[in-house]
Structure 1
Amino acid sequence: MFNDHFPCTHGDKMQGPQIADKPWIGKSYEQTRILVLGESWYGDWGSDYNSDSSYVAGYLAGAIRDSMYSKMANACGAERQAYWESILFTNFVTWAGNKRTDRPTRVMYEAAVPRLERLLQIHMPRGVWILGKEQSEFSAPVVRQAGIAFEVSFHPTSYGLRNQVLGESWHRLTAKIT
C-alpha cells in the first residue's frame, strides 16, 4: 500500500520543520483497517524521520526510542512489531510546535479536519482509535459523519493513565468492528 502526500495542516503562522505528510500504513492494515489517530507531531526529528511513516519505521528498526509507542502496543496486548504492522497511524495535527509541551491551537485542530476527511475516504478504516480527549472534540464528529466506528481514549501520555485503561479502550473499539 502507498503513503499519501497531503499538504501539512499547520493552520497557524508558526514556523516549524518541514514535516512530510505520510501516514504510517502497516503491512497488514488491510486485514484490520484500524486507524489510530494521534493528536499532534511536535519537534524536529530531522529529515530522516520527518513523517509518521518514517518515524514509525525508525522506531520499529530500533533507531528511535519512543515509550509512548511501546505503551500503545503493550496496552493492546500485542508485540510492538505486530501491533504497528496492523494499523494505519497518523497524527490529527501534523505539527504543533517545537517541544512536547506545545499544544495544538483551535485553528490547528480546525485546519486538520479536511485532511482527516480525505484520509477516511482514501483508506476506508472500519474503526478509528482517537487518542486524546481534546482532539476528539474536532476529530470525532468527522469520523461519526463518515459512519465509522470509533473509540476515544485518553492520550497515552496522560498523567497516571494505566495500560489497563488504555487497553480497555482499544478492546472496546475492536469489539465494535468485529
Structure 2
Amino acid sequence: MTALVSDFGVARLLMSAGVGATDNMGNSSANLLFGSIGYIAPEYGFGSSSSIKGDVYSFGILVLEMVTRRRPIDDMFVGGLSLHKWVKFYFHGRLEKVVDPALVTASRDQSQDVRKMWEVAISELIELGLLCTQESPSTRPTMLDAADDLDRLKRYLNGDTAGTFASSLGISSSTIGGDC
C-alpha cells in the first residue's frame, strides 16, 4: 500500500539518544513519543508502544476531521470531550448535526439521487472514522479493512448499488457501546 498522506499523527517511539535529549534527562534509555496532538492514539498516553493500530486511530481522526471540518484540538474539545465522542454523541444518523455546513449546502443543489448517494457516502465515512478512533486498539479495524471499506464506498459511488457497507470486521460503530 502506498501512503498518500503522511505525518498526520503517525506516532513513533524514538530513543531519546537519537534526538540528543539524553543529556538533559539523565537516562540514556528514556523513550519519547512524537506525533501531532489530537491525532495520537489514546493508548500512547498510558505508556503503550507505537503500533499500526495507533496509525489506524490517526487515520480515523483525519477522516472525521475532513467530514466535520473540526480539528481534534479545537477549543470545544475540553474536559474529556474528543472529536470521536462529539461525533458519536451527535451523529445518530443526523448528518446536519456533525457534517461541515459547506458540504451540506453543496449537496442541497443536487438531484435526489445524488443527494441520496451523498448521504450514504458521508454516513459511511463517519462510521469508518468512528470505528477507527475507538478507545481500545483491539476493537479498531486494520488499515486493510479500512481500505476495503473505502473501496466498497468508491464502487458504490461509481454505480455499484449492490455494495454493502458493513465494516470488514462485521461491526458498525452504531452498535459499539461504552466509547462515548
Structure (1 or 2) with the larger CA radius of gyration? 2
Tell me which protein shows more strand as a share of its residues: 1
Greater share of helix residues, 1 or 2?
2
Give the alignment's TM-score, normalised by structure 1: 0.31
Q: Normalising by structure 2, report the TM-score.
A: 0.31
